Chains A and B, each alone.
Chain A
Amino acid sequence: MSRWSAGSTPGSVKPVYGARYPPLHHASPTKGTDIPGRMNKFQDYENSVSDAWDTRVKVDESLASASAAKVLAAHAAGKTHRDEEIMPPVSAAPTKNSRQQALQRLAIQKEPLPSSVSATPQTANPIYPKLPEISDQPRSAAPMASAPPHGRKFILSIPLCNLVIEGGDRDQTRFARLRRLFSNGKSSGRSSPPVDMLKLDQADSFWCASALLDSIQDNYTFAQPGIQRKVLQLRHLMSRVDRPLHKHLESNGIEYLQFAFRWMNNLLMREIPLRATIRLWDTYLSEPDGFMQFHNYVCAAFLRTWSKQLQAEKDFQGVMILLQNLPTQSWGDREICELTADAFSLQSVFDGARRHLSAQAASP
């Protein structure tokens, strides 16, 4: 098995899982001292199944059924193994650090990922057809684009498919920038980018997107539960920080989901000009949990920026049309500074005070 087993590729769905709750390679012996032989047995069993995520490995039928029989026998005998935690919590700091180092190593790695990952079954949609921006590169001239390791496709297709919305819209992903860079040569017969550079940029783009989406992945899973939850939190927060506006919205039949869905889905990118978005996201990157948590306070601050104007509108359509077309065309650094300052003060008051927030807001 190479070092890039399917179960240990950083950034894939499985390793995220594994980073916080690593597999029991170092099963803690703190409580398992009752039977000396048990530890070894467990370790043997663990070793035999630790590659279960790896779809290439064929399951040893006899071993599996023997293990199952053991478990069944143990249960039948009334033995419980409460001390064997399935997902022991680990301290975040060292894991995170080593993960970051792994990310950095990967980002500067010049080789494509080892071929072992290409054995991953191609069940997911490949990302390349979804990226028309780069798929029109001459394939023979750009081997990275034409023959990416399949394992990568698998990983890329998960987080990036959601970013492609914006990539298609406004050329804001790095992929799109890359494409523009090289499509300048279009008229004089398209020149292909240096393969090394393409590789670096691809890795770079991937890890950037991966890091960005790590904390907000459930914004983009089926039915987008992350967004639903955040919109509800925004509603609670507004009922606390700007009650007149909150009441005004409610009395006009406006639901927060009707306007804030886009705020959450596109991280305010559609509401403010690009230069302001870059400035805002820069703050998100520098805040712990910026995209996940701080964003919500920014949305609240953003909404109350328009409090007066919104309250001047006296019916559903007036408020709704204004909310969809907020006059932010001239926004720049200054406005974002004020916005994030307000958001920060909201966060320092309300963060972690969930009950405080929701106790009264539940019945507005």
Chain B
Amino acid sequence: MTAAPYNYSYIFKYIIIGDMGVGKSCLLHQFTEKKFMADCPHTIGVEFGTRIIEVSGQKIKLQIWDTAGQERFRAVTRSYYRGAAGALMVYDMTRRSTYNHLSSWLADAKSLTNPNTAIFLIGNKADLEDQRDVPYEEAKAFAEENGLTFLECSAKTGSNVEDAFLETAKQIYQNIQDGSLDLNAADTGVQPKQNLPRAAENNGKKDCNC
């Protein structure tokens, strides 16, 4: 990555949530490293990833918190919902149980984030079409019912992974432009550059985002 730390207009905070083993960490890894991590260890608590993207000519730095899916870490992971501008709610389209749990994930996301948080529904493992357990139409209907944007993608092949993150950013950016997301409000998960601590004095330092 070539962008220097000072070279962006906004920071957006994201969280990735969903059942254990649906591929949250792999999605993040595919997005930040453009590689598929085959033997991904269980996430403990939360892990952090970052990448700079471009939306409508504006550079935006994404700060992504990848949460552990295991129930035992729920107490810790819940504290990361607050202040997220975008939430990716992931299920595994080859395992119906992960889809069935979406309502409780959605309840958590709705109650713990602010009303402007862009929530996306992501059906992962689209490369395993022959093992599909959740029809596209069904998930699409669920998403529409709950006002979510829906995408199927594959962390393995990388298909639609970029879109999942970019579309979320576009939606957040759109909310800023049309004024529905008030940047002065608390915990929006969006930080304009001028408010960044010490952003100006960082020039010339090596980049560390990769």
The interface size of chain A toward B, counting residues with CB under 8 Å, comes to 29
The interface size of chain B toward A, counting residues with CB under 8 Å, comes to 24
Asked whether any CB of chain B lies closer than 8 Å to the CB of A313, the reply is: yes
How many residue pairs bridge A and B at CB < 8 Å? 65
For window 169-210 of chain B, which residues contact chain A by CB distance below 8 Å? 197-199, 201-202, 205, 208-209
* Complex interface: chain A residues within 8 A of B63 (CB): 316-317
Asked whether any CB of chain B lies closer than 8 Å to the CB of A315, the reply is: yes
- Are B5 and A315 in contact (CB-based, < 8 A)? yes
Across the interface, name the chain B residue whose C-beta is closest to A261: B45
- Are B205 and A258 in contact (CB-based, < 8 A)? no
- Are A253 and B44 in contact (CB-based, < 8 A)? no
Q: From residue A172, how far is it (CB to closest CB) to chain B in Å?
A: 11
Could you mark each residue 319-345 of chain A with 1 if its beta carbon is under 8 Å from any beta carbon of chain B, else 0? 011101000000000000000000000
Could you mark each residue 256-281 of chain A with 1 if its beta carbon is under 8 Å from any beta carbon of chain B, else 0? 01100110011000100000000000
- Are B50 and A169 in contact (CB-based, < 8 A)? no
Across the interface, name the chain B residue whose C-beta is closest to A318: B208
A205–B167 Cα distance when bound, in Å, is 49
* Complex interface: chain A residues within 8 A of B41 (CB): 169-170, 270
Asked whether any CB of chain A lies closer than 8 Å to the CB of B42, the reply is: yes
* Complex interface: chain B residues within 8 A of A165 (CB): 42, 44, 70
- Are A321 and B45 in contact (CB-based, < 8 A)? no
A324–B50 Cα distance when bound, in Å, is 12
- Are A270 and B198 in contact (CB-based, < 8 A)? no
- Are B76 and A224 in contact (CB-based, < 8 A)? yes
Could you mark each residue 20-50 of chain A with 1 if its beta carbon is under 8 Å from any beta carbon of chain B, else 0? 0000000000000000000000000000000
- Are A314 and B75 in contact (CB-based, < 8 A)? no
A320–B209 Cα distance when bound, in Å, is 10
Could you mark each residue 23-54 of chain B with 1 if its beta carbon is under 8 Å from any beta carbon of chain A, else 0? 00000000000000000011011111010000
- Are A321 and B208 in contact (CB-based, < 8 A)? yes
Q: From residue A150, how far is it (CB to closest CB) to chain B in Å?
A: 24
- Are A317 and B45 in contact (CB-based, < 8 A)? no
Q: Which of A222, A252, A318, A322 contacts B197 (CB 8 A)?
A: A252
A223–B198 Cα distance when bound, in Å, is 35
- Are A314 and B205 in contact (CB-based, < 8 A)? yes
Asked whether any CB of chain B lies closer than 8 Å to the CB of A360, the reply is: no
Asked whether any CB of chain B lies closer than 8 Å to the CB of A135, the reply is: no
* Complex interface: chain A residues within 8 A of B46 (CB): 258, 261
Q: From residue B135, how far is it (CB to closest CB) to chain A in Å?
A: 29
Q: Which of B42, B198, B201, B209 contacts A321 (CB 8 A)?
A: B209
* Complex interface: chain A residues within 8 A of B48 (CB): 258, 317, 320-321, 324
* Complex interface: chain A residues within 8 A of B208 (CB): 313, 315, 317-318, 321-322
A270–B47 Cα distance when bound, in Å, is 12
Asked whether any CB of chain B lies closer than 8 Å to the CB of A364, the reply is: no
- Are A270 and B44 in contact (CB-based, < 8 A)? yes
Q: From residue B15, how far is it (CB to closest CB) to chain A in Å?
A: 13
Q: Which residue of B61, B73, B76, B201 has the most chain A CB atoms within 10 A of its CB atom?
A: B76
Across the interface, name the chain A residue whose C-beta is closest to B198: A314
Asked whether any CB of chain B lies closer than 8 Å to the CB of A114, the reply is: no
- Are B75 and A261 in contact (CB-based, < 8 A)? no
* Complex interface: chain A residues within 8 A of B209 (CB): 317-318, 321
A20–B197 Cα distance when bound, in Å, is 51
- Are A261 and B61 in contact (CB-based, < 8 A)? no
A317–B70 Cα distance when bound, in Å, is 25
Asked whether any CB of chain B lies closer than 8 Å to the CB of A168, the reply is: yes
Could you mark each residue 65-101 of chain B with 1 if its beta carbon is under 8 Å from any beta carbon of chain A, else 0? 0000010110110000000000000000000000000
A257–B45 Cα distance when bound, in Å, is 9
- Are A317 and B61 in contact (CB-based, < 8 A)? yes
Asked whether any CB of chain B lies closer than 8 Å to the CB of A251, the reply is: yes
Q: From residue B82, how far is it (CB to closest CB) to chain A in Å?
A: 13
- Are B45 and A220 in contact (CB-based, < 8 A)? no
Q: Which of A162, A168, A321 contacts B50 (CB 8 A)?
A: A321
Q: Known contacts being A253-B197, A317-B50, is A223 close to B202, with CB within 8 Å?
A: no
For window 228-268 of chain A, which residues contact chain B by CB distance below 8 Å? 251-253, 257-258, 261-262, 265-266
Q: Which of B5, B44, B50, B202 contacts A265 (CB 8 A)?
A: B44
- Are A251 and B197 in contact (CB-based, < 8 A)? yes
* Complex interface: chain A residues within 8 A of B50 (CB): 317, 320-321
Q: Which of A253, A257, A270 contacts B76 (CB 8 A)?
A: A257
- Are B76 and A261 in contact (CB-based, < 8 A)? yes
Q: Known contacts being A170-B41, A262-B45, A317-B50, is A223 close to B197, with CB within 8 Å?
A: no
Name 12 extra pairs, CB < 8 A, besides A313-B208, A317-B63, A317-B208.
A169-B42, A220-B72, A251-B197, A258-B46, A261-B46, A262-B44, A265-B44, A265-B45, A314-B5, A314-B198, A321-B50, A324-B47
A contact set with B: CB distance below 8 Å: 162, 165, 168-170, 220, 222-224, 251-253, 257-258, 261-262, 265-266, 270, 313-318, 320-322, 324
A-B CB contact pairs (8 Å), 20 listed? A165-B70, A168-B42, A220-B72, A223-B75, A224-B73, A224-B76, A251-B197, A257-B45, A258-B48, A265-B45, A313-B208, A314-B198, A315-B198, A315-B202, A315-B208, A317-B61, A317-B208, A318-B208, A321-B50, A324-B47
The 9 closest A-B pairs by CB, nearest first: A318-B208, A223-B75, A261-B45, A262-B44, A317-B50, A320-B48, A314-B202, A169-B41, A265-B44
